[in-house]
Each structure stands twice: as structure tokens, then as C-alpha cells.
């Protein structure tokens, strides 16, 4: 929650349904949304593929759909994972491929000018956590 809304400016609460709460070997997602309608969200979805080639293929396929969803061409974002694209406009999503993973970060709250930077920060933190070795249990 602290990372989804670091200054508590958007009054976010956990949001979920059966799909959002799925956690397993292939998909994990957490979502925080506004209380008022229409609901605007900050979310992170992580999808694991059978190998990096499958993740790259899914990233390329998604890139083609993003223009229609966002209403503008997605643009490449350098320095995150193996490939990343920001789809602003109506969508405000960052799609990142890193190895056998794809991350989809949505930031629909706050100043539109800062949404991409916030999505990048969430993606960078998530990738760092995923790369870190698991904590050893206390003995």
C-alpha cells in the first residue's frame, strides 16, 4: 500500500476478485483502487512463462493490442528488464519483460505527468525483489 500510494494522496484501498487474487506459479496480482466511482487503480501483475522466448513473444503480442486500448502508440522504455513499453493515454500501463516474466503495472491515479515514473519505480522494485534470494528462516 505504501508503494501504491506513497503519500496517501489517493485514498486507495485493496481491490480484488477471484482473478485478481490468483496466486500461483503463473500469475500473481495485487491491486489498490479508489473508493469512488469510477474506480481507478494502481496494480502490479506478474506473469511467469515457460521460458524467456515465450515471455518475449507475449510481450510483442501485447504491444500490438496496446495502441487500441491506450488510444496512442506505446513507446519503448529503456533500462527496465529485457524490454519495456509504456502505453499512456486511456490505459496508463507499463509492460515489462524480464527473462521468463512479464510485469504489467497500471497507474490510473495521481497526476498524469507522473504516472509513467511511478509505474517504472514499481516495476524496478518488483524486479529487484524477484531477483533477491528468499529470506532464510530464523533458527
Confidence of residue 124 (pLDDT cuts 50, 70, 90): very high
Look up the domain containing 117 and give its range: 12-131
Q: What angle do CA 88, 75, 62 make, to 5 degrees?
A: 80
Mean pLDDT value of segment 43-70? 93
- Cα distance between residue 50 and residue 57, in whole Å: 11
What confidence score (pLDDT) does residue 18 get?
A: 46
Q: Looking at residue 116, which CATH number applies to its domain?
A: 3.40.1000
- Cα distance between residue 100 and residue 117, in whole Å: 24
Under the phi-then-psi rule, with left for phi > 0, alpha for psi from -120 to 50, and beta for the rest, what region is 11? left
In a domain, 5, yes or no: no
In a domain, 139, yes or no: no
- Cα distance between residue 12 and residue 10, in whole Å: 6
Per-residue model confidence as pLDDT tens digits over 57-99: 999 999 889 988 998 999 999 999 999 999 999 999 999 999 9
In a domain, 4, yes or no: no
Count the Cβ atoms, other than its own, within 10 Å of residue 68.
10
In a domain, 138, yes or no: no
Examine the pLDDT at 14 and tell me if it is beyond 70: no
- Cα distance between residue 46 and residue 24, in whole Å: 10
pTM of the model: 0.81
Examine the pLDDT at 117 and tell me if it is beyond 70: yes
C-alpha distances (whole Å) from 12 to each of 41, 55, 92, 118 are: 8, 31, 17, 15
Examine the pLDDT at 23 and tell me if it is beyond 80: no
When the pLDDT of each residue in the chain is averaged and rounded to a whole number, the result is 85
In a domain, 114, yes or no: yes
Confidence of residue 27 (pLDDT cuts 50, 70, 90): confident
Examine the pLDDT at 54 and tell me if it is beyond 70: yes
What confidence score (pLDDT) does residue 9 get?
A: 63
Cβ distance 116 to 86 under 8 Å? yes
Domain count, the chain: 1
In a domain, 108, yes or no: yes
In a domain, 115, yes or no: yes
Amino acid at each position: 500500500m505504501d508503494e501504491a500510494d506513497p503519500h496517501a494522496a489517493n485514498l486507495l484501498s485493496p481491490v480484488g476478485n477471484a482473478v485478481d487474487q490468483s496466486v500461483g506459479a503463473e500469475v500473481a496480482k495485487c491491486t489498490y483502487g479508489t473508493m469512488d466511482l469510477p474506480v481507478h487503480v494502481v496494480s502490479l501483475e506478474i506473469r511467469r512463462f515457460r521460458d524467456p522466448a515465450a515471455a518475449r513473444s507475449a510481450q510483442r503480442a501485447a504491444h500490438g493490442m496496446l495502441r487500441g486500448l491506450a488510444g496512442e502508440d506505446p513507446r519503448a522504455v529503456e533500462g527496465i528488464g529485457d524490454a519495456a513499453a509504456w502505453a499512456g493515454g486511456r490505459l496508463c500501463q507499463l509492460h515489462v519483460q524480464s527473462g521468463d516474466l512479464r510485469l504489467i503495472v497500471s497507474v490510473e491515479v495521481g497526476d498524469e505527468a507522473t504516472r509513467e515514473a511511478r509505474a517504472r519505480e514499481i516495476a524496478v522494485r518488483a524486479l529487484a525483489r524477484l531477483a533477491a534470494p528468499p529470506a532464510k528462516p530464523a533458527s
